[in-house]
């Protein structure tokens, strides 16, 4: 999405500084009084004790109860390195909750095709360990996108008191494989796991969708205990993602609901804790790609997903 910059007025003739200062002060006094009056009116106890913060309204299809809004910035760069344990927030509404973020793919996978092409057991059958992921037509990779959004999410969730773990942080030479990604969430006894992705569909196919686990009971896979809570998690993420980013649900899968159920993904089949995937948009569509490559939009995506997680954990 492009933004038109401000128009600049030509330089104005120099004015008498003392006169300008006098006029400015005269204008500020009534303005300050008016601001005080408005503040008193908004914060008065007549609105049920509200402090004047605007209520957040979800779309009709979104969950009815929402967690407190997590503040966000529009910085084009993701947050810095993970804080040390001493500086990590230990209090907040998500204190005691464990969230595992699974940034899809790995920036180094393309250098290790033999390793990522080996087959692993996903319960129902055998599939490749991992893939390289997709990219925009200009070369912005899915692996770079997922890590950026994951870093932004970690900052937002840790500020709420959550303990956040990653399945990978670009610190491995390749992988992990899809079965290991599931095991990381299981071993952490995560309260919620979200796998971050961006799709590689055809031009004109736009929008996001959240992938939910279907009922699978084969071999090492048994998703029956997590199907219901995972759907709850996915619905809350979809609702907040629409509200925060303004993006529409996918126009090519999910029948406009933004929700898709699958039984062929090892990361879901082997999970024993609530888990969903989110395809944040289509990297191969120019309009979606313009959003996915925007730092400001990625911040909104991180906030939308994080608020959905917080909503689920505080239910």
Does residue 125 lie in a domain region? yes
Does residue 56 lie in a domain region? no
CATH number where 273 lies: 3.40.630.40
For residues 31 and 120, state if they share a domain: no
Does residue 295 lie in a domain region? yes
The DSSP result for 81-136, as a single string, is SPPPTTTS---STTTT-EEEEEESS-TTGGG-HHHHHSEEE-SSSEEES-----B-
Which residues constitute the domain of residue 42? 19-47
For residues 41 and 163, state if they share a domain: no
For residues 32 and 128, state if they share a domain: no
| Per-residue tens of pLDDT for the chain, all 315 residues | 322 222 223 333 344 444 443 333 334 334 433 333 333 333 333 333 333 333 333 333 344 344 444 544 455 555 544 444 434 446 899 999 999 999 999 999 999 999 999 999 998 899 999 999 999 999 999 999 999 999 999 999 999 999 999 999 999 999 999 999 999 999 999 999 999 999 999 999 999 999 999 999 999 999 999 999 999 999 999 999 999 999 999 999 999 999 999 999 999 999 999 999 999 999 999 999 999 999 999 999 999 999 999 999 998
- How many domains is the chain built from? 2
**Choice among 142, 165, 235, 279 that is catalytic:** 279
For residues 214 and 301, state if they share a domain: yes
For residues 129 and 246, state if they share a domain: yes
Alpha-carbon dihedral 135, 140, 146, 150, rounded to 10 degrees: -170
Dmax (CA) of the chain: 84
Is 314 tagged catalytic? no
Does residue 241 lie in a domain region? yes
């Amino acid at each position: 999405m492009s933004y038109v910059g401000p128009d600049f007025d030509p330089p104005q003739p120099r004015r008498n500084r003392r006169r300008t200062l006098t006029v400015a002060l005269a204008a500020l006094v009534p303005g300050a009084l008016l601001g005080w009056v408005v503040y008193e009116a908004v914060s008065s106890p007549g609105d049920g004790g509200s402090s004047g913060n605007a209520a957040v309204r979800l779309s009709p299809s979104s969950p009815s109860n929402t967690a407190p809004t997590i503040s966000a910035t529009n910085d084009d760069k993701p947050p810095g390195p993970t804080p040390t344990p001493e500086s990590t927030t230990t209090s907040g509404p998500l204190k005691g909750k464990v969230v595992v973020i699974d940034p899809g793919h790995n920036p180094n996978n393309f250098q290790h095709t033999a390793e990522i092409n080996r087959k692993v057991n996903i319960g129902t059958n055998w599939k490749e360990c991992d893939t390289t992921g997709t990219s925009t037509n200009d070369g912005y990779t899915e692996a770079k996108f997922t890590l950026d959004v994951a870093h932004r999410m970690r900052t937002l969730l840790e500020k709420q008191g959550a303990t956040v773990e990653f399945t990978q942080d670009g610190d491995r030479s390749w992988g992990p494989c899809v079965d290991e990604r599931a095991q990381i969430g299981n071993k952490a006894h995560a309260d919620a796991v979200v796998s971050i992705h961006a799709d590689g569909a055809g031009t004109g196919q736009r929008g996001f969708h959240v992938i939910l686990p279907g009922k699978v009971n084969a071999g090492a896979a048994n998703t029956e205990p997590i199907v219901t809570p995972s759907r709850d998690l996915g619905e809350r993420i979809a609702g907040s993602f629409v509200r925060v980013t303004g993006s529409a649900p996918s126009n090519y899968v999910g029948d406009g609901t933004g929700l898709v159920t699958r039984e062929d993904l090892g990361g879901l089949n082997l999970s024993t804790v609530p888990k969903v995937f989110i395809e944040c948009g289509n990297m191969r569509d120019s309009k979606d790609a313009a959003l996915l490559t925007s730092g400001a939009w990625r911040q909104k995506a991180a906030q939308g997903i994080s608020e959905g997680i917080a909503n689920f954990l505080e239910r």
